[in-house]
Amino acid sequence: MPRATTASDKDLWGHALSMLLLGFICYAFPWSVFAAQPETVLRIQGSNTVGAKLGPALVKGMLEEEGLRAVHQTPGDHENEVHILGHDAQGKELQVELAAHGSSTGFVALKDGSADLAASSRPIKDAEVHDLATFGDLRSRHAEQVIAIDGLAIILHPDNPLRALTTTQLAAVFAGEVKTWEELGGKGGAIHLYARDDQSGTYDTFKELVLARQGKSLAAGAQRFESSDKLSAAVSADPQGIGFVGLASINKARALAIADGESQAMPPSTDLIATEDYPLSRRLFFYIKPGEENRWAKALVKFAQSPRGQAIVDQSGFVAQQVQAIKVQPQPDMPPRYRELASQAQRLSVNFRFQEGNANLDNKALHDVERVLDYLKKTDKLQQKVVLVGFGDPKADPQRAALLSKLRAMAVRRELAKGGVALREVTGLGDELPVAANTAEEGRIRNRRVEVWVY
């Protein structure tokens, strides 16, 4: 006869069923589902140039400065997306989401509320300012934050013997009008074009500084990339290739020297990019809504402008905005007073520039006033050690050009005087020593600048 089921048997069966059910639940629903999910405290979208290396590095530095522990990075849900995570003092895991699909996407995300901060490798466009006008002026000093200086590097295969091009030649190459290296005085046969995609601020900058100025468009046959690093890798593997990337993505490729208008051919060197004299230099930005309440967004903007943040800019392969003295070699074709300065003084690694259409310092220049004052205080150069040299674009009357260039220098003097600086000299050299072509407004704006020299 079958044995009767006892209470002990029922307990065993119940335990076994419980274990089977628990096993099924763990299999069907991994434990991570039940684990506490990190809290997203900041969302950044925009430039691949910023988002590939610099953005994550700045976020990590900010989180560590805010006291988070075990800060680390993990891949996001899609390519060119990352999450940066860390634990606060209470052990809670916090997360910053960063998506780097192009500068244009950052402004779209600000508008629809899917981002708290936009990263951009170009200035905000008029149409984007209009679209975001309900949030305030995105061109205001608070909203527009220059976090680094970059240079568009025109890159070739390392074995390509070509050393320099003008922006006019570049435009003809990327428009497909110059088709062989032999037409440029080189060798190698057909030219293969590599370019960033349409969402890219890098492409927008190249289009504005090179193609549009010559009334040209990118050739249809150019290979397009969302990632600067992938573009650079493709060029460095193609002896017939030419492309453009940000300074941090030159990698194994070789960069050309570039001339614009009557300027000398300049390589994308740190000093020439820091002063924005290099023809294809550009600014990298964070844009934050005026009145933004997200404390993490405000903390990141503040950290990016700090000395530690700018050190991370330098470590990430871009050019920091920290002020340094540069020795300039005197040249026979320099104006006499400028050649004298080059012989006796040093130039600071900053140029003051102005808002379009007026004599007011632009947003970067306003921050640079503070940086220059800090440098002068630390080096004991507040009294009679500083010379300001103004430059401008050509005018019908050369004396007017000289006067306007000196007036720009005097505008900088007023700002430095507020910090206790007594200048040694203020001078204007008119349209001498251009760094860009004066045939377009962008070039004229670049030529309207004030240099700082110290004894």
CATH of the domain at 215: 3.40.190.10
The answer to whether residue 416 is domain-embedded is yes
Q: Are residues 88 and 161 in the same domain?
A: no
What local confidence, expressed as pLDDT, does residue 85 receive? 98
Residue 318 lies inside a defined structural domain of this protein: no
Q: Are residues 447 and 344 in the same domain?
A: yes
Q: How far apart are CA 429 and CA 347, in angstroms?
A: 16
Write down the pLDDT at residue 32.
45
**pLDDT tens, position by position, 253-311:** 999 999 998 888 999 999 999 999 999 999 999 999 999 999 999 999 999 999 999 99
Give the C-alpha separation, 108 to 316, whole Å. 26
Q: How many domains does the chain have?
A: 4
* Number of alpha carbons in the 13 Å side-chain half-sphere of residue 132: 29
DSSP 32-72: GGTSPPPEEEEEEEE-HHIIIIIHHHHHHHHHHHTT-EEEE
- Spatial distance between the Cα atoms of 431 and 435, rounded to a whole number of angstroms: 10
Alpha-carbon radius of gyration of the chain? 27
Rounded to the nearest 10 degrees, the angle between the axes of helix 307-315 and helix 55-65 is 150
Give me the phi and psi of 12, to 5 degrees please. -65, -45
Whether residues 327 and 445 share a domain: the answer is yes
Identify the three-state secondary structure at position 333.
coil
Are residues 43 and 120 located together in one domain of the fold?
yes
If asked whether residues 43 and 101 sit together in one domain, one would say: yes
Q: Can you read off the two tokens belonging to residue 86?
A: 């860390």
Q: 269 and 292: one domain?
A: no
Query: What gap in Å lies between CA 105 and CA 182, rounded to an integer?
Result: 39
The pTM (predicted TM-score) of the whole model is 0.84
18 with 59, same domain? Answer: no
Report yes or no: 138 and 288 within 8 Å, Cβ to Cβ.
no
Distance, in Å, from the CA atom of 227 to the CA atom of 221, rounded to the nearest integer, reads 18
Query: Is 49 found in the same domain as 15?
Result: no
Same domain (yes/no): 15, 75: no
Structure-token match 């005097």, residue found? 410
User: Is 308 within a domain?
Assistant: no
Q: Residues of the chain whose pLDDT is less than 70?
A: 1-35
134-48-367 Cα angle (round to 5): 60
What domain range includes position 115?
39-148+287-302
Instruction: Let me know: does 175 contact 211? Beta carbons within 8 Å.
Output: yes
Q: Is residue 131 part of a domain?
A: yes
- Answer yes or no: do 401 and 365 share one domain: yes
